[in-house]
Chain A
Amino acid sequence: MLILSVESTCDETAVAITEDGRRVLTDQIFSQADLHAVYGGVVPEIASRSHVEVIAQLADRAVAVAGITKKDIDAVAVSYAPGLIGAVLVGVNFAKSAAYSLGVPLVPVHHVRGHIAANYIAFPDLKPPFLCLAISGGNTMLVDVRDYTELHVIGATRDDAAGECFDKTARVLGLPYPGGKHVDALSKQGDDKMYKLPHIKVEGNPYDMSFSGLKTAVVNLVHTSEQKGERINREGLCASFCRAMSESLVPRTMKLAQELGYDKIAVAGGVAANSRIRDDFKAAAEKAGKTLYVPPLSLCGDNAAMIGCQGYYEFKAGNRAGTNLNAYATMEL
């Protein structure tokens, strides 16, 4: 079964062709990172403008590169929530009209479910159930993946997403957008014990998270040292920050896996590209005798193949949308 899938929830426009969920024929991604770089972050209106400019060419190119014809497409899947509303609207309206023109079913896909499904592409043998930590610029959640389309959020951030925290840290240190990879690179040269940063404190659900305290601590640290005329050790701060982040995420995930009795743990989303988090997960999983799944960097960020993959399982579960499908800025998993 061939699925054409569309992703436009943030600053990547992408169209993929996937076969039976896990085989990626092509994943055409147009990254807008350069357009947003001068603003130090994603500007929603600029993102929306860019999506509508390139989406039709990307779809045509995906078909050509995959070596198929449009008549071969069996369904269209689209990332319809959550995301920047103006941006998601472009993908949704293109995708549902394309499905209508092809006369094939339209399958709505939750963006974070797509991130989790990136693991199915990277690891052909991975099957639910497993525990997944989904961490990106917009979402941070611990998900009990009981089946392909039966997912339960056990804990989530109560304020900022982990990725927002990375972006803010990068910005306050004057690092270029997108900042995550620069924070990662600097952290490798720094002492992770140089700065003392706060750990998560959340009342109630022990698997909920909060990152606003960490973010504020980083911002205050930088501003205070600026006022005192001291030079901040950027490498040390990045290393300390990545450590604090990792120590908030990794032990919590391991503990939950133990509690749920899972021996498979997956990580998904843009922040899963961070090397400190990857390394710490690897060590923790080894120590606990659990199998760890982390997608390659190319599948951590936003892409359309992951939407096509999850779309396949949503299709098999009977999920369809009509021509009245709308886009949503927020949506429960």
Chain B
Amino acid sequence: MRILGFDSSAKTASVAVFDSEAEDGLLGQYFQNCGLTHSRTLLPMAEDLLKNLGLTLGDIDLLACSRGPGSFTGVRIGVSTVKGLAFADSKPVCGVSTLQAMAYNGITAHEGSVICCAMDARRDQFYNALFIIRDGVPVRLCEDRAIGTQKLIDDIENLNKPVFLVGDGARLCYNALNDFKLRVVLAPAPMRYQTAWGVCMAALREQAVPAGELLPVYLRLSQAERERQERVFGKAGSDPQTDKN
């Protein structure tokens, strides 16, 4: 099965072609970390990559993207792109958690290591999930969530295992954790950010759906909804799914 994967969930953007029958899977990948708008660059990257690999969209069996969490707009650009690419042949699509995709960056860590995926979610929070490496694959330890620094430190302390930090919030996280003398490794730059390869790896273990059923996952309400909830129900009544730890 050939997968065309996309990630545009944060500042970085990447596109990969992955063949599950090929020995190493990854046939090619483009990656950018320059802050150019994904709306301009994402589809041209896919077009170029396919051309350079001597492939066409017709050779692709599955379209995959990170469905969030991440930049609301960035995630929507990826999801809209995949929905559009699926249009002509009604190809199946697959949305994967950005954090799950990113966890594959940690598969070189020792068996039993914890992969801590941390994206800078602003407002003093991280989008975070924790995984453990078992049989060379990241296995989820908790759901995707938006949490504050203290909660993250507590959770990692309780696990009492070596930790490999990835994500655009990894450095922030590393600085905070270092003070606690925990066994933490900050992923080197080329392995720190989510990639379309990780999206493809995660997609191999997810259910494909028709394009119409692919939905972004934000982990947060829009500002207007949040403010309205606070106004109508008071702060304490707000939805635990949104911003609170």
A→B interface (CB under 8 Å): 38-39, 43, 45-46, 48-49, 52-53, 55-57, 59-60, 70, 86, 89-103, 322-327
Q: Is there contact, CB below 8 Å, between B43 and A97?
A: yes
Asked if residues B211 and A46 are in contact (CB atoms below 8 Å), the reply is: no
Of B86, B87, B225, chain A has the most CB atoms within 10 Å of the CB of: B87
Contact B89–A52 (Cβ < 8 Å) = no
Q: How far is the CA of A91 from the CA of B216 in the complex (A)?
A: 15
B interface residues, Cβ below 8 angstroms from A: 37, 39-44, 46-47, 57, 72-73, 76-77, 79-90, 210-212, 214-216, 218, 222-225, 228
Contact B224 A94, beta carbon cutoff 8 Å: no
Provide the bound-state CA to CA distance between A97 and B211, in Å.
13
Interface of A is mostly: helix
CB distance A57 to B212 under 8 Å?
yes
B43 proximity list for chain A (CB < 8 A) = 93, 96-97, 100, 323-324
SS class, residues of chain B in contact with chain A:
helix
Across the interface, B228 reaches (CB within 8 A) one of A39, A86, A94, namely: A39
Complex-state Cα separation, A52 to B82, whole angstroms = 11
A73–B167 alpha-carbon span in the complex (Å)? 42
**Closest Cβ of chain A: how far from B69's Cβ, in Å?**
14
Contact B40 A326 (CB under 8 A): yes
Please name all residues of chain B whose beta carbon is closer than 8 Å to the beta carbon of A55 when the two chains form the complex.
80, 83
The 10 closest A-B pairs by CB, nearest first: A97-B84, A45-B222, A101-B88, A93-B80, A98-B84, A98-B87, A57-B212, A43-B224, A323-B43, A94-B84
Does the CB pair B76–A100 fall under 8 Å?
no
Residues of chain B within 8 A (CB-CB) of A96 are 43, 84
Cross-interface CB contact of B212 among A49, A60, A324, cutoff 8 Å: A60
CB of A247, distance to nearest CB on chain B (Å): 35
CB-nearest residue of chain B to A90: B80
Question: Please, which residues of chain B bring their CB within 8 A of the CB of A95?
Answer: 84
Please report the C-alpha to C-alpha distance between residue A98 and residue B37 in the assembled complex, in whole angstroms.
Answer: 20
Chain A residues with CB below 8 A from B90, complex form:
60
10 contacts between A and B (CB under 8 A): A38-B228, A46-B224, A48-B72, A49-B76, A53-B215, A59-B87, A60-B212, A89-B39, A99-B84, A323-B44
Contact indicator A97/B83 (Cβ below 8 Å): yes
In the bound complex, what is the Cα–Cα distance between A98 and B89 (angstroms)? 10
| Most B-side CB within 10 Å, residue of A39, A86, A96 | A96
